Amino acid sequence: MELIDTHAHIYTPEFGADRDEMLARARAAGVVCVLAPCIDAASVEPMLALAADYSGFVRPMLGLHPTELPAAPEAALDAMEQMLMRDKSRFVAVGEVGLDFYWDASRREEQIAAFVRQAGWAVRYDLPLMIHARSAHRELVNALLPMEKNLARGGVFHCFSGSAEEAAELLQRFPRFVLGIGGVLTFRNCRLGATLAAVVPLERIVLETDAPYLAPVPHRGRRNEPAFLTHVVAKLSEVYGLPPDDVARVTTATARRIFSLS
């Protein structure tokens, strides 16, 4: 069983004491690739250093997270775009980018402007998008829809946990995009499984952990890590009534296609 973790912040200090061992556990669990999104200017260097140390196994993305916008985000965005201009081949996607009005909606227009600019990078440099959205479904759709036809590589709506109606709208309006599904699916009383079964074909899903966050049951409350993808696969197997190997095969093929992974 080959698995791809399409979203893991494994360059963070939470893994400083046992990063090598954590990645060895991932390999032992069947993980063949981990995609690492950055969130701000400070995370770019440790992300790239880890990708260099684990060339081919850890693949980096580049983007500015909506909750990490500095007071004047233009300098950080300019620096990131320069990196893409110099060598876009270093990165598998533009991410983690998006909109988040859950904690603070006071910078709504700045978030939207930064997201639209970074989505433009995906068009210009022919890269997929890794999109974070929280309490911002309508704004996200409105911002992204004018670019849909030009986003040839599509992307992922990361950590999707919305309603069946929201899932159906995203999949219908953005046919090149898929949903990123992780540990939230395993949480008690989570309705996501019913949503997936009702409106989301397995071919429109990729696996993710969002490590070190959102560890699945039975590890909930602990630090998450890519090896825990096996618990997400097990739950998806229940949801779709398919063997775990089939879930792994389909989701891995989808991840390889979107991120151009060999």
Tens digit of pLDDT for each residue in 11-54?
Answer: 999 999 999 999 999 999 999 999 999 999 999 999 999 999 99
Q: Tell me: the pLDDT tens digits for 45-66?
A: 999 999 999 999 999 999 999 9
Q: Tell me: the pLDDT tens digits for 78-100?
A: 999 999 999 999 999 999 999 99
Distance CA 1, CA 31 (A): 8
The predicted pLDDT at position 74 comes to 96
Q: 100-103: which pairs have CB atoms within 8 A and are 24 or more residues apart?
A: 100/65, 100/66, 100/67, 100/132, 100/133, 100/134, 100/135, 100/136, 101/134, 101/135, 101/136, 101/139, 102/134, 102/135, 102/136, 103/67
132 token code pair = 């974070």
The predicted pLDDT at position 80 comes to 98
pLDDT at 104 over 90: no
Contacts (Cβ under 8 Å, ≥6 apart) of 228: 29, 183, 209, 211, 215, 216, 219
Half-sphere exposure of 152 (CA within 13 A, CB side): 6
Residue type for position 88:
K
Q: Tell me: the pLDDT tens digits for 198-247?
A: 999 999 999 999 999 999 999 999 999 999 999 999 999 999 999 999 99
SS3 category, 207: strand
